[in-house]
Amino acid sequence: MSQQQSTTQRFDIGGMTVTKVIDTVETFSPRVLYVDKDRSAFDPHLDWLQPHFVDANKAMRLSIHSFIIETRHHRVLVDTCVGNHKQGSGFPQWNDRTDAGYLTDLAAAGYRPEDIDYVFCTHMHVDHTGWNTRLRDGRWVPTFPNARYLFNKREWAAWEHSDNPHDKATMTQNVVPIIEAGQVQWVDNNWAIDDQVELLPTPGHTPGHCSVRIAHRGASAVITGDMMIHPVQIAEPGWQQTADADKALAARTRLAFVDNHCDRDVMILGTHFHTPTGVYIVERGGARRVRLPDS
Ligand SMILES: [Zn+2]
């Protein structure tokens, strides 16, 4: 079940609340996201992709948002989006942003930055680490002053020495300041934050990529991260994402995930899925597709 609000969305997982707070919503051509797909590739799936996930021109509707999990013990914020004042991302629309909406909406949802206990980034790409930090007096400081930032050792090892200027900019602005502030808790793939939230390794997009499994009173959900960016990949897990570091491994990971979660009562919370964002995987007529919660 979910309740649609103007800028945030709440999901009920067995009585536990997960809140989505949006940083930005954009449309992308499939030519940008996928190695060899154009808009016609959506045609077999338009009956369920439109209107929520693909627009009338067959462009992909994507959302960049955080999920805040309110467990019995902690407030856990998963993925920190693009952020403000960042430079050098390689995506012009993500550079030099001055949009106050994210923190305002977070506060409206009931979360001040100091209320967050843990921050987890599914991986260290620019659109998942941005609000890790904010600019104060010319310095990057942690946005969430009381949080432990859970950084995956395997992920940091993959990016620490990257020569790519965009990756270096992301590390310099979004990751290194957290390490220098002493707020990092280094974790492995098998980490559990508490008895309700644990990491689910989903490698391929990046080497240390982890999704997040949430469980409460017999109900469960998975936050995807970029293991799949768009719901079409539930039907087409083999489509290669341009940004996948290991495209064959990423496709295997996606296929296994879809197999494991098809026709099960597990809500899939897509990290870039446009509203309504939380969906179920079902098989209809021999093909996989999305079922919306209220259908
Ligand atoms: Zn992403």
Ligand 1 centre distance from Cα of residue 157 (Å): 19
Other beta carbons within 10 angstroms of residue 182's beta carbon come to 7
Q: Please name the residues in contact with 172: beta carbons below 8 A apart, sequence gap of 6 or more.
A: none
Ligand 1 centre distance from Cα of residue 26 (Å): 12
Q: What is the mean pLDDT of residues 278-291?
A: 96
**In this prediction, what percent of the chain has a pLDDT beyond 70?**
98
* pLDDT value at 3 more than 70: no
Q: Where are the domains of the chain?
A: 2-291
- Tell me the CA distances in angstroms from 202 to 89, 123, 158, one per residue in order: 24, 10, 15
pLDDT in tens, 127-145: 999 999 999 999 999 999 9
Kindly report the CATH number that applies to the domain delimited by 2-291: 3.60.15.10
Ligand 1 centre distance from Cα of residue 225 (Å): 7
Q: Is the separation of the CB atoms in 278 and 221 below 8 Å?
A: yes
Q: How far apart are CA 91 and CA 95, in angstroms?
A: 7
Ligand 1 centre distance from Cα of residue 129 (Å): 10
Amino acid at 182: G
Ligand 1 centre distance from Cα of residue 285 (Å): 31
What is the model's pTM? 0.96
Tokens representing 240 are 């290669």
DSSP state of 59: P
Q: What is the mean pLDDT of residues 53-65?
A: 96
Q: Please name the residues in contact with 251: beta carbons below 8 A apart, sequence gap of 6 or more.
A: 204, 237, 238, 239, 240, 244
* pLDDT value at 6 more than 80: no
Ligand 1 centre distance from Cα of residue 79 (Å): 9
